[in-house]
Amino acid sequence: MEIHIVENAETGAKVVADVFARTLAEAGESGTVLGLATGSSPVPAYAELIRRHREEGLSFARSRAFLLDEYVGLPAGHEQSYHHFIRENFTAHIDIDDAAVVSPDGASADPVAEAASYDRRLRDAGGVDLQILGIGSNGHIAFNEPGSSLGSRTRVVGLARSTIEDNARYFASADDVPVRALSQGLGTILEARRIVLTATGQGKADAVAQLAEGAISARWPATALQMHPDVTVVVDEAAAAKL
Ligand code: GLP
C-alpha cells in the first residue's frame, strides 16, 4: 500500500488523476474498465479528470465503467441515485459512451437476482482495471458495512445507522435515506487490478488508521485492502492524523 499525505483535496485530486492517466495509457487499444465510486471524496479527482479531458485531451472513449453500488428503491432517474450522481459529477462531462457506464438497478423487482447478475456482468467485462474508492467513517468501502465478509460478492446489504446519518445530508431527512443498497462485495472489489482510495477530513482519521495499520478484520472492512498488491491511498493531513 502506497500512502500519499497531501496538503489539500486539490493536490490529492492530481495524484488520483495521475493513477487514472497511467491506467488509461497502459490499456491502449483494448480500452479500460473503470470502477467508479460516489460520495463526496472522489469529486475533486473527477473534476481534475474532466479538466484534463477538456484541456489536455485525456480520452475515455474506449473505457467502460461500473459503479460500486446503488440504493435499493431508487430508480436510475432519481436525483439521489448513484446512477444520476456519477453522470452529474463525472461521466456526462467526458467522452465516455453513456451506455458504457453501468450501475446496479436499484429499482429492480428482484434485487437479489440483480446483484448476482451485476457480479457476472463485471466478470464478463474482464474485471476492473482501476477502482477508485472513498471510505466511510466506520471503515466501510462501497456499502460493505462492518461485519461484511472479506470474501463477499455483490449483494443486497443493510446500511449502518452511522452511514444513514452520514448520507442524510443529501436527502431531506435521515428518514428519506434508503436503508438497503446493492453493493459490490469486498471480494469483488479486491479483484480490481489496481485500486486508489481517497479520503479527507478528521472524520475519516480512525478509518484511515485502521485501513493502513489495523488488523485485517470484518470489523473495519477497508482493512481487506491490505491484502491487495496495488493500492494507492491519498489522504490529507486531517485524515492522516491517526497514522
Ligand atoms: C457512501 C458510499 C461510499 C463512500 C462513502 C463515503 O456510503 N457508498 O462509496 O465511500 O459514502 O462518502 P464521502 O466520500 O461522501 O465521505
CATH (domain of 179): 3.40.50.1360
**∠ CA 159-164-177 to the nearest 5 degrees?**
95
| 18 domain residue, yes or no | yes
Alpha helices in the chain (DSSP H): 9-27, 43-56, 82-89, 111-124, 161-167, 186-190, 205-213
30 band by pLDDT with thresholds 50, 70 and 90: confident
| 50 domain residue, yes or no | yes
Q: What is the 8-class DSSP label of residue 158?
A: E
| Residue ranges making up the domain that contains 177 | 2-236
Residues with Cβ within 8 Å of 146's Cβ and at least 6 positions away in sequence, in order, are 138, 139, 140, 160, 218, 219, 220, 221
Residue 148, helix vs strand vs coil: coil
pLDDT tens, position by position, 117-137 = 999 999 999 999 999 999 999
| pLDDT for position 24 | 96
Q: Is the CB of 63 under 6 A from ligand 1?
A: no
Q: Which three cell numbers stand for residue 238?
A: 486531517
Q: How many residues are present in the chain? A: 243
Q: What is the 8-class DSSP label of residue 218?
A: T
| 47 domain residue, yes or no | yes
Q: Is the CB of 69 under 6 A from ligand 1?
A: yes
By C-alpha distance, which of 106, 162, 138, 158 is closest to 223? 138
Residue 8 annotated as catalytic: no
Closest approach atom of ligand 1 to CA 135: 10
| pLDDT for position 196 | 99
Residue 28 has pLDDT above 80, yes or no: no
Amino acid at the residue 158? G
Average pLDDT of the chain to the nearest whole number: 97
What is the mean pLDDT of the segment spanning 70-74? 96
Residue 207 has pLDDT above 80, yes or no: yes
Q: Quick one: three-class SS letters along 200-226?
A: CCHHHHHHHHHHHHCCCECCEHHHHHH
| 83 domain residue, yes or no | yes
pLDDT tens, position by position, 227-243 = 999 999 999 999 999 99
| 242 domain residue, yes or no | no
| 201 domain residue, yes or no | yes
| pLDDT for position 29 | 76
Phi, psi (deg, nearest 5) at residue 166: -60, -40
- In whole angstroms, how large is the CA radius of gyration of the chain? 17
Q: Is the CB of 39 under 6 A from ligand 1?
A: yes
Q: How far apart are CA 78 and CA 75, in angstroms?
A: 6
pTM over 0.90? The answer is yes
101 band by pLDDT with thresholds 50, 70 and 90: very high
Residue 63 has pLDDT above 80, yes or no: yes
Residue 69 annotated as catalytic: yes
By C-alpha distance, which of 145, 146, 124, 101 is closest to 191? 124
By C-alpha distance, which of 1, 20, 17, 226 is closest to 129? 20
Amino acid at the residue 48? E
What is the mean pLDDT of the segment spanning 201-210? 98
| 241 domain residue, yes or no | no
Q: Which three cell numbers stand for residue 21?
A: 492517466
Marked catalytic residue, from 70, 119, 129, 145 = 145
What is the mean pLDDT of the segment spanning 45-72? 97
Q: Edge-to-edge, what's the strand order for the sheet holding 69-71?
A: 69-71, 180-183, 155-158
Question: Rounded to the nearest whole angstrom, what is the distance from the C-alpha of residue 225 to the centroid of ligand 1?
Answer: 16
Residue 224 has pLDDT above 90, yes or no: yes
Kindly state the percentage of the chain with pLDDT values over 70: 100
| 243 domain residue, yes or no | no
First and final C-alpha spacing in the chain: 13
Q: How many domains does the chain have?
A: 1
pLDDT tens, position by position, 157-201 = 999 999 999 999 999 999 999 999 999 999 999 999 999 999 999
CB atoms within 10 A of CB 2: 11
User: In sequence order, what are the beta bridge partners of 156?
Assistant: 182
